[in-house]
Amino acid sequence: MRTTRTAVATAAALVCLGALSACGPDDGAEQNVGPSKAATGPATGSTAAPATGPATAPSSGSAKPSAAAPGARDIPAGAWINPRAVPLDSVHHWTAPASSAKAVGGAPVFKLQELCHSTLSKDNESLGAGQAAAQALLGAGGADQWQAQQTLLYQGDPRPSSGVAQSAHAVFRDLRDELKDCARTAPGATVKVTSPEDATYVAATVTVPQPGGTTVVLHTYLTAPDGTVNELALWATAKAGAQPKVPWAGPADAEVAKAMDAPLCATLKDC
């Protein structure tokens, strides 16, 4: 009996040892899993990403995003400008951007790009989609009336890596160059940059002739505090030589830029 019990115990031990060898954890399985770009909570103020969209493969050693960071297509409601700080709000009473914000699949088209018929340079076009992008129409008037739109392109949390800020600033510089080059890409356009040369933001007034004898007047503001490229655009279409029904008026350019960046700092720590 003793010999039989010893044999049974030995066999059981061998079975357990084999199970541990076959089913034990892979030493590297957990270490190389980084956060997916399609991560985190529900969208606030934007259209949610389709559940069937392609997943983004995690990268080895990637930094974990902060809790405030949006997912691949989400921009938090708190990141948008306070509509009361948008020029001409006393007349048009702009709506809150988060209430009309829509996620952009791929690279957003900034308003200045739309009117100047320009695109990011080959060197920077891969940065055009970022981690998240959305646009919000704050108000849309009829003929001779002002309209307003904000576009946010989020490259990522700038705190773990300076590369994120470098990406955002590369897109910002590209857009600034596209703006200055608008007369070449949109024949007949004129550009007047109103911000100081050494400013950390860009403000400009652009006029672009349109087919049919009308002209679009655009006031555009661009900032990129660290991880986000931010455009606020106000424009009106009028007959050539005519002016919009409401004369242009607004705070100093620096005040508008500050109002654009303050929510990014508070919500995304992008400051």
Q: What is the CATH number of the domain that holds 115?
A: 3.40.1000
Q: For residue 102, tell me if it sits in a domain.
A: yes
Please indicate, yes or no, if residue 142 is contained in any of the structural domains.
yes
Find the mean pLDDT for residues 41-67.
Answer: 37
- Residue 132, domain member (yes or no): yes
Which residues make Cβ contacts (< 8 Å) with residue 91, sequence separation at least 6?
Answer: 246
Cα dist from 31 to 28, 39, 63, 161, 195, whole Å: 5, 18, 13, 20, 48
Whether residue 2 is contained in a domain is answered as no
Better-predicted residue by pLDDT, 172 or 48: 172
Asked, for residue 9, whether it belongs to a domain, the answer is no
- How many structural domains compose the chain? 1
Is residue 25 over pLDDT 50?
no
The CA R_g of the chain, rounded to the nearest whole Å, is 26
Domain that holds residue 222: 77-268
| pTM, to two decimals | 0.74
Query: Rounded distance, CA 196 to CA 100, Å?
Result: 32
Residue 154 forms part of a structural domain: yes
Query: 174-188, pLDDT tens digit by residue?
Result: 999 999 999 999 999
Asked whether residue 26 is assigned to any structural domain, the reply reads no
Domain presence at residue 244: yes
